[in-house]
């Protein structure tokens, strides 16, 4: 049960004054949720200081001022295109208030003649006379103290004004509960932080612009709270996994030896080290929860295949789960020859497996006839029963949540989990998404891999590039051409895959193919198989080919509108070439003059192929929320923390979380109970469920 003290924060936005049902939908879209707490996490991005209150003779053009005035005269417009003027003054001079499209009744109500009023807004000068166009605030003399303040400026959406948000936030702050302190008091003191309640107030009600700085004590305190909730939740997951009964899988090396003999290359030192770490985990009675992180083309798949032999040699099953149909089929294509060499029986189970074919596959998995299962998320559905699943390998983990990872681990008794990602992740983000895991890194590329020659080309030269491409295709080259959209959009002027495909088809006839996410799986597979065989020489695609697609013969990658892609995505796309022994090229086509950040991304791609360097630069340029494609990502989207600023708090919070659970694994002490408030506040309810279930 969520602590009672938090109830006011989890009420609907409609409980706040001024937010009816119509407004609630706009507010929910703006603040990212339907609850009062979502509004409180909606931070100001600027402020307007209305405390300057001069006489008219002392006003400063271009500065916001709050004036005490007497209304003297109304001057309605002679024509609709002209403004309504209201002449006001004090003992030192006169000023004109300007209103476009104002109604007389409204003016008479807001600014009655001969009344004393308070107006606040930007001072301007026209024809040598001071004026204020559309004052931001108008009130009575008794309203002076509430108008002459520092006003927070919030991100807005169509239909919601700053006044609406400010009014709602002020009402939300009035119901802010006093919560027990969950942080270590020495840590609070060292940083000069206030309590949680005061920090929330300080973020929204500011004295000066320093309160907008992410390092300001109030913002820093709330950022740490959010990071601590993330690290404590991961520590609870880890603790639960580690303390549940595991299994000991120790193979005899017979099948692994056969695969090694069939490989045309020797394992790198990094691959051997990763295998040793995996073997030690699998032989231990605790459950393995390990991340295998490696750059594009570093050889993760072969490590996974050899790890799976550990499970099969000990008489159990192994499974590998990929996020897409294309990637699952690709794994079957890559792993199949190795498993055949070892005499290991494998099946492929995806959403496409239907009817009697699916029943046969399910029976083989249930009976243990299938020793290795390759598939998509279809393999953790309830209808899939394993005879004895010892190892689950999850590829491209950031496309799956922690919840799905745990669902697969429930399919066996003490199943070990090996997670793989080809998306190099900065250490800061690795802690936020994979803080519950041990990590093995593959930093070497297999011998024989040549660097990819990366070039920036203006889209104005695309015709010349197509001519060059034609010459390469004539001598047997294969190429990818990646576009960011599937269909031409009138709103966003981007090259569309279908349009580009038709243009290139005129030139290359049946040697060009098209793959995008809206095609049926069978159609995509047929095109991909044609490309792998060489029947198709030029593959036009959306980013559906971003990860895992392996055609060693492809040596040319063209990315259209490269300025619109993130660094990590460009790096993944480039990783589709340079996988064989031939020299490979990546052409980044940009349109117009790219902005400063886009130029920095494109230059970074030219300078290095080091995925970890690229990932760090991506974090610096875009911030943590975007680094892996946010919404589908296992990376939490922080609302208060900015990992490019607050990264140092991650290791502090991780150490603190471990210490907390060592001393108080059930969170039963006074601080432990306060931390339960923190977990619920940031909606880490799943972690509380783990706590309850042991």
Q: What is the CATH number of the domain that holds 458?
A: 3.40.50.300
Nearest to 265 by CA among 569, 570, 579: 579
Q: Are residues 485 and 385 in the same domain?
A: no
* pTM over the 0.75 mark: no
Cα angle: 95, vertex 98, 100; to 5 degrees? 175
Per DSSP bridges, beta strands 416-421 and 289-294 are parallel
**Number of domains into which the chain is organized:** 3
Evaluate whether residue 309 is within a structural domain.
yes
Q: Are residues 602 and 470 in the same domain?
A: yes
In 3-state terms the chain splits into helix, strand, coil percentages (rounded to 5) of 45, 20, 35
* Domain limit, last residue, from 578, 608, 638: 608
Evaluate whether residue 635 is within a structural domain.
no
Q: Are residues 342 and 262 in the same domain?
A: yes
Within 10 Å of residue 355's Cβ, how many Cβ atoms? 7
| Coil, helix or strand at residue 232 | helix
* Domain limit, last residue, from 89, 115, 148: 148
User: What's the maximum distance between 2 C-alpha atoms anywhere in the chain?
Assistant: 99
Q: Are residues 427 and 283 in the same domain?
A: yes
Q: Are residues 420 and 471 in the same domain?
A: no
Evaluate whether residue 126 is within a structural domain.
yes
- Say how far apart CA 332 and CA 606 lie, in whole Å: 33
Burial of 393 (0-12, 13-18, 19+ CB in 10 A): buried
* Domain that includes residue 385, residue range: 254-442
Q: Which residue has the tokens 């041990």?
A: 438
Q: Are residues 412 and 359 in the same domain?
A: yes
- Say how far apart CA 574 and CA 60 lie, in whole Å: 56
| Coil, helix or strand at residue 634 | coil
Evaluate whether residue 203 is within a structural domain.
no
Evaluate whether residue 528 is within a structural domain.
yes
Q: Are residues 507 and 574 in the same domain?
A: yes
Evaluate whether residue 284 is within a structural domain.
yes
Is the CB of residue 9 less than 8 Å from the CB of residue 36? Answer: yes
C-alpha 295: how far from chain center: 19
- Say how far apart CA 595 and CA 68 lie, in whole Å: 45
Q: Are residues 385 and 528 in the same domain?
A: no
Q: Are residues 396 and 486 in the same domain?
A: no
Beta bridge partners of 458: 590
Q: Which residue has the tokens 């250490």?
A: 427
Beta bridge partners of 124: 131
Q: CATH number of the domain at 103, please.
A: 2.40.50.140
Within 10 Å of residue 262's Cβ, how many Cβ atoms? 13
Q: Are residues 416 and 493 in the same domain?
A: no
Evaluate whether residue 42 is within a structural domain.
no
- Say how far apart CA 209 and CA 199 lie, in whole Å: 16
Task: State both tokens at 528.
Answer: 């991909």
Nearest to 310 by CA among 266, 276, 285: 276
Structure confidence at residue 431 (pLDDT): 67
Q: Sign of the CA dihedral 420, 426, 427, 433?
A: negative
Q: Are residues 281 and 405 in the same domain?
A: yes
**CA distances to 480, 500, 540, 563, 576 from 504, in Å:** 12, 6, 9, 22, 21
* Domain limit, last residue, from 608, 643, 677: 608
Q: Are residues 497 and 600 in the same domain?
A: yes
Structure confidence at residue 295 (pLDDT): 74
Evaluate whether residue 345 is within a structural domain.
yes
Residues of the chain with pLDDT under 70: 241-242, 296, 397-409, 423-436, 446, 448, 486-495, 546-549, 622-636, 686, 689-694
């Amino acid at each position: 049960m969520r602590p009672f003290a938090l109830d006011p924060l989890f009420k609907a936005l409609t409980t706040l004054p001024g937010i009816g049902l119509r407004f609630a939908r706009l507010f929910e879209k703006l603040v990212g949720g339907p609850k009062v707490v979502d509004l409180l996490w909606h931070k100001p991005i600027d402020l307007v200081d209305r405390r300057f209150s001069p006489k008219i003779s002392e006003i400063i053009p271009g500065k916001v001022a709050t004036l005490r005035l007497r209304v003297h005269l109304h001057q309605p417009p002679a024509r609709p295109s002209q403004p309504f003027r209201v002449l006001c003054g004090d003992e030192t001079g006169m000023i004109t208030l300007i209103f476009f499209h104002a109604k007389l009744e409204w003016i008479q109500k807001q600014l009655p003649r001969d009344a004393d009023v308070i107006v606040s807004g930007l001072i301007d000068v026209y024809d040598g006379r001071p004026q204020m166009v559309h004052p931001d605030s108008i009130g009575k003399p008794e309203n002076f103290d509430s108008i002459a303040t520092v006003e927070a400026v919030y991100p807005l959406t169509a239909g919601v004004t700053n006044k609406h948000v400010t009014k709602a936030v002020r009402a939300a702050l009035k119901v802010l509960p006093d919560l027990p302190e969950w942080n270590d008091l020495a840590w609070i003191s060292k940083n000069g932080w206030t309590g949680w309640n005061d920090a929330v107030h300080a973020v929204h009600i500011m004295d000066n612009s320093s309160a907008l700085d992410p390092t300001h004590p109030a913002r820093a305190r709330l950022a740490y709270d959010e990071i601590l909730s993330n690290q404590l939740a991961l520590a609870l997951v880890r603790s639960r996994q580690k303390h549940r009964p595991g299994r000991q899988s120790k193979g005899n090396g017979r099948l692994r030896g056969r695969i090694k003999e069939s490989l045309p290359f020797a394992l790198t030192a990094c691959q051997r080290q990763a295998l040793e770490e995996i073997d030690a985990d699998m032989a231990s009675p605790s459950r393995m929860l390990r991340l295998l992180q490696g750059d594009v083309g570093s050889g993760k798949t072969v490590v996974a295949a050899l790890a799976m032999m550990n499970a099969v040699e000990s008489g159990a099953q192994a499974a590998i789960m990929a996020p897409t149909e294309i990637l699952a089929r690709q794994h079957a294509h890559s792993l199949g020859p190795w498993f055949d060499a070892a005499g290991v029986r494998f099946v492929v189970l995806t959403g496409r497996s239907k009817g009697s074919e699916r029943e046969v596959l399910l029976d083989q998995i249930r009976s243990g006839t299938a020793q290795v299962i390759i598939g998509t998320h279809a393999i953790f559905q309830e209808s899939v029963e394993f005879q004895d699943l010892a190892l689950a390998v999850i590829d491209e983990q950031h496309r799956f949540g922690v919840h799905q990872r745990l669902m697969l681990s429930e399919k066996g008794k003490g199943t070990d989990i090996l997670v793989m990602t080809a998306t190099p992740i900065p250490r800061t983000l690795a802690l936020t998404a994979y803080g519950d895991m041990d990590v093995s890194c593959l930093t070497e590329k297999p011998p024989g891999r040549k660097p990819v020659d990366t070039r920036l080309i203006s889209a104005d030269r695309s015709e010349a590039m197509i001519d060059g491409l034609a010459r390469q295709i004539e001598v047997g080259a294969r190429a990818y051409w990646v576009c960011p959209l599937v269909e031409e959009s009138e709103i966003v002027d981007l090259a569309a895959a279908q349009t580009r495909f038709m243009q290139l088809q005129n030139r290359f006839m049946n040697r060009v193919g098209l793959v995008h996410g809206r095609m049926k799986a069978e159609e995509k597979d047929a095109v991909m198989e044609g490309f792998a065989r060489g029947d198709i020489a030029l593959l036009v695609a959306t980013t559906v080919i971003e990860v895992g697609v392996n055609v060693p013969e492809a040596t040319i990658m063209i990315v259209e509108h490269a300025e619109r892609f993130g660094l990590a995505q460009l790096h993944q796309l480039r990783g589709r070439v340079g996988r064989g022994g031939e020299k490979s090229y990546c052409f980044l086509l940009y349109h117009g003059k790219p902005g400063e950040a886009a130029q920095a991304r494109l230059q970074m791609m030219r300078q290095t192929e080091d995925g970890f360097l690229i990932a760090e630069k991506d974090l610096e340029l875009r911030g943590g929320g975007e680094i892996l494609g946010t919404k589908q990502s296992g990376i939490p989207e922080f609302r208060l923390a900015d990992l490019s600023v607050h990264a140092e708090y991650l290791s502090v919070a991780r150490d603190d979380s471990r210490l907390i659970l060592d001393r108080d694994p059930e969170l039963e002490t006074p601080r432990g109970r306060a931390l339960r408030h923190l977990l619920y506040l940031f909606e880490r309810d799943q972690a509380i469920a783990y706590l309850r279930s042991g």
